[in-house]
Amino acid sequence: MIVRIGARLAVPTVILVLAATTALAAMGWGDSRAGAAEGCEYSIDGIDCWYGGSSTTTSTLPPYRYLRTRVDPVIGTCWYWSRYPPGLDGLNPANDSEIIYTRFEYPECPAGGGTTVTTRAWEVFRSFPLRIPTPQVRPKVGITNLASIITAARAYPLRHVETLPDGRILEVEAYVAGVPIAWGDGTPAISYSATTTFGMGATHAYALKTCPEWYRTGHPAGDRCHPSLEAYRVTVSFAWRGRYRTDGGAWINLGTLYRSTAFTYDVDEVIGFPVGP
């Protein structure tokens, strides 16, 4: 997806991508290493940003999820994080460009007591460049009733450390807690452990082959095809779990962000025939 930010932001790309970082640094929060999930490109008529993957959440709802705006009597329009909608859902990467734009264009709203540690930790977690999996499948064309195997390159944990204005040390981490795979044939998605895809791989056997419509309706073996699919759509995700702590204390959960990729997978069959007299 490409989102046009607009020509009136005639600034280099790096300023847009790191807008959240510079704004927070000016407030004394330090370097958040913020950045767009995919990237932006400065063009002659504006700034184009593109983002991939999909996002959702676990049952543990991050305490600050929605970016909202309001009109402050002193500074005018400003932004703030909220637990509740409406607002830009911070768990959906499709909103990345608008979140970056909003935080670049407007100041943060003043609040009693200032930015909380939880809010700051969530902002850091949300700014991490969470990797999307790059799965490999073998065999390239599946065979019914034989295992298809998916592997994915390791995604290393991400970590950020900074000193808060009150002197405490804030640590924020993100790591892949699981690898959910939806095999596309109607079976429930399975979440494999993060180490599974680094060894033998995640396996699945398909019961039906996939065929084009003309084969399903006109070939004598068409009844052995999936009734509607010409290929299975397989979705592989990294379940990125965020957490934070201060001064080496107990870790506190920030929730889970999913980064996913999908591909089509053709499945065939092998049939033996007697040969010779």
The full DSSP string for 50-81 is E--S-----SS--S--EEEEEEETTTEEEEEE
- Tokens 């044939």 map to which residue? 185
Q: How high is the pLDDT of residue 93?
A: 86
SS3 content of the chain, % helix, strand, coil (to 5): 20, 35, 45
For residue 73, pLDDT over 80 is answered with no
Q: For 203-261, what is each residue's pLDDT tens digit?
A: 999 999 999 999 999 998 889 999 999 999 999 999 999 999 999 999 999 989 999 99
Contacts of 177 (CB under 8 A, 6+ apart): 194, 239, 240, 241, 256
User: Could you tell me the CA-to-CA distances from 18 to 6, 36, 85, 171, 193 in Å, in that order?
Assistant: 17, 8, 25, 20, 33
What is the pTM assigned to this prediction?
0.61
**Mean pLDDT within 37-66:** 45
Q: For 104-158, what is each residue's pLDDT tens digit?
A: 999 988 764 345 788 888 888 988 999 999 999 999 999 999 999 999 888 899 9
Q: Greater confidence, 148 or 42?
A: 148
Please name each of the domains of the chain with its CATH number: 1-128 (no CATH), 130-277 (2.60.40.10)
For residue 15, pLDDT over 90 is answered with no
For residue 42, pLDDT over 60 is answered with no
Q: Say how many residues make up the chain.
A: 277
Q: For 160-199, what is each residue's pLDDT tens digit?
A: 999 987 889 999 999 999 999 999 999 999 988 876 555 5
Find out whether 202 and 181 touch, Cβ atoms under 8 Å.
yes
